[in-house]
Amino acid sequence: MADRHLDLKGLKCPWPILKTGKVIKDLSAGDTVEVLATDPGAVQDFEDYCEVTGHDLVESDVSDEVYRFVLRKVKREARPK
């Protein structure tokens, strides 16, 4: 079960990613967020988002044209100075 849930159905790119990024920023490392979206472009957007940010895309599926994603926040290592 996810720690947070976002119903972003009806929103088009870039809103699902922007709203998810805002929520995931406030989560602790290891916490998860479940996102529901209807924009087919969200599939590639969430894959790209996780690749860029380093967060884990734990689950991704679709049912009745609703895309479901579960992301896990990964602790970021401090950058060396």
Catalytic residues: 13
Pairing of β 4-7 and β 32-37 = parallel
Write the Ramachandran bin of 63: left for phi over 0, alpha for psi from -120 to 50, otherwise beta.
beta
CA-based nearest residue to 39, from 19, 25, 58:
19
